[in-house]
Structure 1
Amino acid sequence: MFKKLINIVVLVPVAIILIVLSVANRQSVTLALNPFRPEDSVLSVSAPFFVFLFLAVIVGVILGAAATWFSQGKYRRRARNEANEAVKWHREAEKHRSQAEKLATQATLAAPQN
């Protein structure tokens, strides 16, 4: 519930700001990718300015997510190794528990009856 409230408190203002920016920046601009001949139409793209703003935000989010993913790889690897080790020790404990139960039942069967 708290996480949902935080999402609403953060995402609603961000959405409002993005909508206002979109409405305010509807004029068409040209992005020239050729620094030597900006008038070259082959390496230029014309679109409303807010499209370029959204693309910049999307590229930034993707690059940030990728950087975070790669920087946290050692922690995921460690967690995976520890989980595998925990499963191994759990199996070992189960094996010893079943052996102990077998020995206990054999001991009770072999014990002389008074």
Structure 2
Amino acid sequence: MLKKLINIIVFVPLAVVLVVLSVANRQTVTLALNPFEPADSMLSVSAPFFVFLFLAAIVGLILGAAVTWFAQGKHRRRARNEANEALKWHREAEKQRSAAERLVQPTLPTPQN
């Protein structure tokens, strides 16, 4: 519940700001990828400014998610190893339990005539 509330408090104002910026920045701008000759049309892209804003937000989200995923890799590996270890010990306990049950089972008396 708290996480949902925090998400609403953070993402709703962020969405409002992005929509306002999109409406206010509809003019076409040119993104020049050649810093030495900005007039080079081969390395430039023209689009409305809000397209670049949304692309920057999307790229930021993807990069942030990738960095977080790689940073948590050691924790996922440790959890996977511990789960495998727990399964191994669970199987061993079951094996020992069944062996103990076989030893404790009472032997049926043989009928004597």
Q: TM > 0.5 between the two?
A: yes
Identity %: 76
Is the partner of 1:42 in helix, strand or coil? coil
Q: What's 1:22 paired with?
A: 22
Quote the offset at 1:110 in angstroms: 5.4
Q: What's 2:65 paired with?
A: 65
Q: Deviations over 1:67-89 (max 9, x none)?
A: 12112211111111111000000
The answer on 1:32 being equivalent to 2:39 is no
The answer on 1:2 being equivalent to 2:2 is yes
Is the partner of 1:109 in helix, strand or coil? coil
Q: What's 2:107 paired with?
A: 109
Q: TM-score, normalised by structure 1?
A: 0.86
Mapping for residues 47-86 of structure 1, pairs under 5 Å = 47-86=47-86
Quote the offset at 1:101 in angstroms: 1.3
Q: Deviations over 1:9-49 (max 9, x none)?
A: 22211111111111111111000111222111111100111
Between the two proteins, the alignment pairs up a number of residues equal to 110
2-structure distance, mates of 1:9, 1:96: 54
User: Unaligned regions of 5+ residues in structure 2, if any?
Assistant: none
- Comparing both structures, which one devotes a greater share of its residues to helix? 1
One-letter identity of the residue aligned with 1:39: A
One-letter identity of the residue aligned with 2:14: V
1-structure distance, mates of 2:45, 2:23: 20
User: Unaligned regions of 5+ residues in structure 1, if any?
Assistant: none
Mapping for residues 87-102 of structure 1, pairs under 5 Å = 87-102=87-102
One-letter identity of the residue aligned with 1:74: K
Q: TM-score, normalised by structure 2?
A: 0.86
